[in-house]
């Protein structure tokens, strides 16, 4: 995925997770960071013996955040493959073709409050996943009918796996 901070865009890969230790690659450089959620969207990070606290506040869309540290604030945008696909489709005039929920990163399925064949309204939570110690709700982008659910609760999924397909 890419993370855009101001005018800078960094290529980020999550390589491994062992309890609180996250091994990530940023622009081809590997970092080992101890990450712990200490509050609602508040994280403590330890990197090379230094401690950093960050607060993430949801921005104007699901992939945009205001990130606050002790001394600085940043606006970031997470550009995963699903967001890039949506953006490309919007650019091509095919915005109505998005009929899948796809996971942008490895995750664990927490809950699936809908069932196949169910009609749902725009904004209805379709699936909740846990990734990087955060629970992420994927909501219906429009009124639709659930065509197929490819996973079940407690499943572990990989990057770009289709979780739910819908129509309408």
Domain annotation for the chain: domains and CATH numbers: 2-79 (no CATH), 98-167 (2.40.50.100)
At which residue do the structure tokens 């309408």 appear?
A: 168
CB 62 within 8 A of CB 45: no
pTM: 0.49
pLDDT score, position 80: 66
Q: Does residue 95 have a pLDDT over 50?
A: no
Distance CA 138, CA 99 (A): 13
d(CA 82, CA 55): 25
Model confidence band, residue 35 (pLDDT cutoffs 50, 70, 90): very high
Q: Which one is predicted more confidently, 41 or 105?
A: 41
Measured CA to CA, the distance from residue 144 to residue 119 in angstroms comes to: 6
Number of other CB atoms surrounding residue 163 within 10 Å: 21
| Start-to-end Cα distance in the chain | 29
What is the pLDDT confidence band of residue 83, given thresholds at 50, 70 and 90?
A: low
> How many DSSP H helices and E strands does the chain contain?
1, 16
State the sign of the Cα–Cα–Cα–Cα dihedral 39, 45, 46, 52. Answer: negative
For the segment 127-142, what is each residue's pLDDT rounded down to a tens digit? Answer: 999 887 778 888 888 9
Instruction: Tell whether the model's pLDDT for residue 64 goes beyond 50.
Output: yes
The two tokens of residue 15 are 């390589």
């Amino acid at each position: 995925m890419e993370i855009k901070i101001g005018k800078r865009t960094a290529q980020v890969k999550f390589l491994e997770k062992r309890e609180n230790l996250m091994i990530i690659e940023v622009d081809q450089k590997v970092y080992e960071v101890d990450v712990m959620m200490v509050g609602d969207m508040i994280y403590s990070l330890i990197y090379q013996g230094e401690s950093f606290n960050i607060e993430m506040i949801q921005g104007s869309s699901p992939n945009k955040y205001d990130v606050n540290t002790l001394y600085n604030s940043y606006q970031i945008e997470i550009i995963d493959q699903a967001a890039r696909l949506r953006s490309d489709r919007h650019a091509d005039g095919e915005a109505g073709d998005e009929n899948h929920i796809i996971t942008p990163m490895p995750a664990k399925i927490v809950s699936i409050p809908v069932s196949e064949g169910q009609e749902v309204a725009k904004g209805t939570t379709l699936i909740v996943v846990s990734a990087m110690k955060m629970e992420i709700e994927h909501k219906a982008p429009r009124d639709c009918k659930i065509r197929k659910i490819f996973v079940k609760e407690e499943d572990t999924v990989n990057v770009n796996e289709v979780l739910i397909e819908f129509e309408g």
